[in-house]
């Protein structure tokens, strides 16, 4: 357009050079009544000689020539612009880097089979040798009404608290000294034999013909899930559900990396279940292993058997242990200055040994957590007791100042102050922070947002002690408890469906072993892991049995 305007101006200059107008006489004044512009008289159009006038026909011809030339130049400009655009586009295509083809549309996910169409599975036997009594007690409450049984040979120091006691009395090879790490720490009965695969072989050889073991249909590993390594050679479904950081017993880089590979192998077997009972540990496992899908299967803890019935005035401070003395003093000082009349008491100060009904008799529990997931908090929630937790920002600040969550990482458990994990994030991972960096408030806040008390509904959070006192004083605790009760009812339905689907995954086409007199195993542990996991086991398992198995189906 600019070129066209310039061309028109050139033509006008040329025309006026040939026939310049004479100085125009002043136009007569416009009458006040004249509504519009009146052109000057024809005599005002003068040629080169002011004594001669230019005919109107010559002026009209000049205007026509200008219009024709303008139209021609406009068409020429349009053709030129089109040619320039085509050449520019061709040059860009010739010099640009080759681009990848557009991604193919993702195939739609297979629709979830309606739960009503999944067969009912009953009569299966599970084996457990856990180091924590609560996760297995919880599963018993769910599994037993479904017609299943659990052989519970507990290695927990609290096994005597169950009624009846669940302590192992005849367990061979596995023991409290080396059951967590398969002898890696090189002490106890296996001192001098720090070779996990040797221990796995010994356990297999001891139980492959055991009359109780041949009736086992699956193995449960909660605390700790690393115990499932010892059961891999039996070829039965494994249920590995992390209840804390999954590298428990495998803290150093070589055995941790070997455990990662074994866990990926376990996850690759479609009959196995690899999960966590909380969101934090599910994301933590993904960070280090690259597993795509680590579902959260929470514990229910309905075994408490009681519901919220507040009759006592004290607000409890929980959980039962690990409470920071400094933070408790700050809370008490704030409560003392307020006019709320609220009284706060630590659980253990009131109840050195409590009954669940005693906890449920208090209006609420204020959390000062030493972990992101605790069985005691599951229990509080199932009793419908209203809870108040520090906000992620406040808790991250406490962690930096006081290490209030002193069991959040294994380095903290062992009183080590490190800012990174012993191994790296899985290749291709996209998490921005190392979960074991406890020296960075941003990293701490990023990870602790997946704590149970932030994931579950109806738990109030506070940013200061003053805000906490105000929240508790003005809360409708009865309403909160009622909402928690509704959530518990919904969760129980979901859990039963989840386990029903898991049983279908584990046992489809497989009858329970016990009615048929049991099922045998391979002759050796090595044959078992080769057959069921396509693994040629190493001598000791501390890095020498990491293999080239294709597990792309379950990896990022």
Query: What confidence tens digit (pLDDT) does each residue in 95-114 have?
Result: 343 333 343 343 444 567 88
The percent of residues in the chain predicted with pLDDT above 90, rounded, is 62
Whether 301 contacts 378, CB under 8 Å? yes
Could you give the CA distance from residue 335 to residue 470 in angstroms, rounded to a whole number?
10
The mean pLDDT value for 234-246 works out to: 96
User: By the 8 A CB rule, do 387 and 367 touch?
Assistant: yes
- H, E, C per residue of 94-124: HHCCCCCCCCCCCCCCCCCCCHHHCCCCCCC
More confident residue, 123 or 6: 123
Q: Is 305 a residue whose pLDDT tops 90?
A: yes
CA 408, CA 431: separation in Å to the nearest integer?
A: 18
This prediction has a pTM of: 0.77
Residues 393, 386: Cα–Cα separation, whole Å = 21
The pLDDT, as a whole number, for residue 181 is: 81
Q: Are 409 and 245 in contact (CB under 8 A)?
A: yes
CA dist list (Å): 67 to 16, 46, 60, 89, 95: 15, 22, 11, 33, 42
Nearest to 131 by CA among 171, 164, 188: 171
pLDDT mean across residues, the chain: 82
Q: Residue 91: its pLDDT value, please?
A: 47
Per-residue pLDDT, 552 = 41
Structural contact between residues 173 and 227, judged by C-beta atoms closer than 8 angstroms = no
Q: Is pLDDT larger for residue 515 or for residue 381?
A: 381
Handedness of CA 453, 457, 462, 465 (dihedral sign): negative
Q: For the chain, report the end-to-end CA distance as a whole number of angstroms.
A: 55
Which of the residue ranges 91-100, 194-203, 505-514 would you say has the lowest mean pLDDT? 91-100
Q: What is the pLDDT of residues 7-44, one digit of tens each?
A: 444 454 444 444 554 444 443 333 333 333 333 333 33
The pLDDT, as a whole number, for residue 246 is 96
What pLDDT is attached to residue 547? Answer: 39
Span 267-288, mean pLDDT?
97
What string of DSSP letters covers 457-512?
Answer: TT-EEESSHHHHHHHHHH--HHHHHHHHHHHHHHHHHHHHHHHHHHHHHHHTT---
Asked if the bond preceding 157 is cis, omega within 30° of 0, the reply is no
Is the model more confident about 202 or about 179?
A: 202
Would you mind telling me the total number of residues written for the chain in this entry? 556
Predicted local distance difference test score (pLDDT) of residue 73: 63
Distances in Å between the Cα of 470 and the Cα atoms of 48, 324, 466 are 98, 22, 6
Residue 530 binned pLDDT confidence (cut-offs 50, 70, 90): very high
Which one-letter DSSP state was computed for residue 555?
Answer: B
């Amino acid at each position: 357009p600019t070129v066209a305007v310039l061309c028109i101006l050139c033509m006008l200059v040329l025309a006026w050079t040939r026939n310049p107008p004479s100085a125009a006489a002043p136009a007569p004044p416009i009458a006040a009544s004249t509504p519009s512009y009146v052109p000057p008289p024809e005599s005002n159009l003068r040629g080169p000689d002011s004594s001669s006038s230019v005919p109107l026909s010559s002026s009209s011809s000049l205007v026509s020539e200008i219009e024709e030339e303008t139209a021609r130049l406009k068409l020429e400009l349009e053709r030129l612009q089109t040619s320039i655009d085509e050449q520019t586009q061709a040059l860009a295509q010739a010099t640009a880097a080759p681009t990848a083809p557009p991604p193919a549309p993702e195939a739609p996910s297979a629709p979830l089979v309606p739960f009503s169409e999944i067969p009912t599975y009953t009569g299966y036997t599970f084996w457990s040798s856990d180091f924590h009594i609560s996760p297995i007690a919880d599963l018993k409450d769910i599994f037993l009404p479904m017609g299943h049984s659990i052989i519970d040979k507990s290695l927990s120091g609290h096994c005597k608290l169950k009624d009846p006691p669940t302590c192992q009395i005849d367990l061979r090879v596995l023991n409290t000294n080396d059951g967590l790490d398969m002898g890696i720490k090189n002490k106890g009965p296996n001192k001098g034999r720090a070779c996990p695969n040797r221990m796995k072989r010994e356990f297999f050889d001891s139980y492959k013909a055991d009359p109780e073991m041949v009736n086992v249909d699956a193995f449960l590993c909660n605390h700790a899930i690393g115990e499932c390594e010892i059961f891999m050679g039996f070829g039965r479904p494994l249920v590995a559900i992390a209840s804390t950081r999954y590298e428990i017993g495998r803290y150093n880089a070589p055995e941790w990396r070997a455990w990662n590979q074994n866990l990926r192998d376990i996850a690759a077997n479609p009959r196995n279940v690899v999960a966590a009972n909380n969101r934090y540990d599910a994301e933590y496992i993904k960070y280090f292993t690259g597993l795509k899908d680590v579902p959260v299967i929470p514990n229910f803890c309905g075994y408490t058997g009681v519901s919220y019935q507040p009759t006592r005035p004290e607000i409890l401070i929980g959980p039962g242990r690990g409470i920071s003395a400094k933070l408790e003093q700050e809370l008490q000082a704030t409560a003392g200055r307020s006019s709320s009349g609220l009284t706060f008491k630590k659980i253990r100060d009131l109840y050195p040994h409590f009954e669940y009904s005693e906890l449920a008799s208090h209006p609420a529990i204020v959390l000062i957590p030493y972990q992101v997931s605790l069985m005691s908090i599951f229990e509080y929630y199932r009793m419908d007791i209203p809870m108040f937790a520090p906000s992620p920002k406040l808790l991250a600040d406490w962690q930096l100042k006081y290490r209030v969550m002193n069991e959040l990482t294994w380095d903290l458990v062992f009183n080590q102050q490190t800012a990174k994990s012993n191994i790296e994030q899985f290749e291709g991972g996209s998490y921005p922070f190392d979960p074991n960096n406890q020296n960075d408030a941003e990293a701490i806040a990023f990870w602790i947002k997946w704590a149970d008390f932030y994931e579950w509904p109806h738990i109030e959070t506070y940013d200061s002690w003053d805000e906490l006192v105000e929240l508790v004083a003005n809360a409708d605790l009865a309403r909160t408890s009622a909402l928690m009760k509704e959530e518990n009812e919904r969760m129980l339905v979901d859990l039963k469906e989840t386990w029903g689907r898991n049983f279908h995954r584990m046992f489809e086409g497989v009858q329970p072993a016990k009615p048929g007199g049991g099922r045998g195993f391979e002759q050796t542990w090595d044959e078992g892991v080769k057959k069921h996991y396509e693994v040629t086991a190493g001598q000791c398992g501390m890095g020498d049995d990491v293999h080239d198995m294709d597990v792309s189906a379950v990896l990022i």
